Amino acid sequence: MVEAEQAALKQNKTRSEAIMAAYDRFYKGDIAKEFVRGCQEQGGLITMEDLAKWKPIEEEPLHVNYKGIDVYKLQPWTQGPSLLQALNILEQFDLKKMGYNSSQYIHTVYEAMSLSFADRDFYYGDPYMAPIEPIEGLLSKAYARQQASRINSDRNDPNIQPGDPYPFQGEKNPYLNLIKKRQYSKDSSTRNFMPSHDIRQTTSSNVQKTDDAYLDRLWRGTTSVEAADKEGWVVSITPSGGWVPACVAGNTGIGMSQRMQSFVLDEELNPFNVVAPGKRPRVTLTPSLAMKDGKPFLSFAVQGGDTQEQNLLQFFLNMVEFGMTVQQATEAANFNSNQLWLSLGGTKIDDRKPRPGNILLHNSTSKEVRADLSKMGYTLSFDDRTSGPINAIYFDWKHGSLWGGSSNHGEDYGIGW
- Predicted local confidence at residue 218, as pLDDT: 39
Strand segments, DSSP code E, in 35-155 are 62-66, 69-73
Fold (topology level) of 62-406? Glutamine Phosphoribosylpyrophosphate, subunit 1, domain 1 (3.60.20)
In a structure prediction context, what are the per-residue pLDDT tens digits for the chain, which is 417 residues long? 999 999 999 999 999 999 999 999 999 999 999 999 999 999 999 999 999 999 989 999 999 999 999 999 999 999 999 999 999 999 999 999 999 999 999 999 999 999 999 999 999 999 999 999 999 999 999 999 999 999 999 999 999 999 999 999 999 999 999 998 875 444 434 333 333 333 333 333 444 444 454 344 434 467 889 999 988 899 999 987 666 667 899 999 998 988 888 999 999 999 999 999 989 999 999 999 999 999 999 999 998 889 999 999 999 999 999 999 999 999 999 999 999 999 988 778 888 899 999 999 999 999 999 999 999 999 999 998 888 889 999 999 999 999 999 998 877 888 888
CA triple 213-313-292, angle to 5 deg: 135
Q: Are strands 225-228 and 234-237 parallel, antiparallel or unpaired?
A: antiparallel
> Which DSSP letter does residue 408 get?
S
Q: What is residue 191's predicted lDDT score, i.e. its pLDDT?
A: 34
- What are the residues facing 173 on neighbouring strands? none
Give 278's Cβ-side CA count (13 Å radius).
Answer: 9
pTM of the model: 0.90
**Looking at residue 78, what DSSP letter applies?**
B
Looking only at Cα atoms, what is the longest distance across the chain? 72
Cα separation of 120 and 356, whole Å? Answer: 16
Residues 6+ apart with CB under 8 A from 257: 241, 242
Q: Positive or negative, the Cα torsion across 279, 283, 289, 294?
A: positive
Q: Which of 397, 235, 239, 240 is nearest to 300 (CA)?
A: 235
What is the DSSP secondary-structure string of 1-47? Answer: -HHHHHHHHHTT--HHHHHHHHHHHHHTSHHHHHHHHHHHTTT----
Neighbouring C-beta atoms of residue 189, cutoff 10 Å? 9
pLDDT of 411: 78
For residue 408, the model assigns a pLDDT of 82
Domain locations along the chain: 2-53, 62-406
Q: What element of type H or E holds 83?
A: helix 81-90
Residue 202 is predicted with a pLDDT of: 31
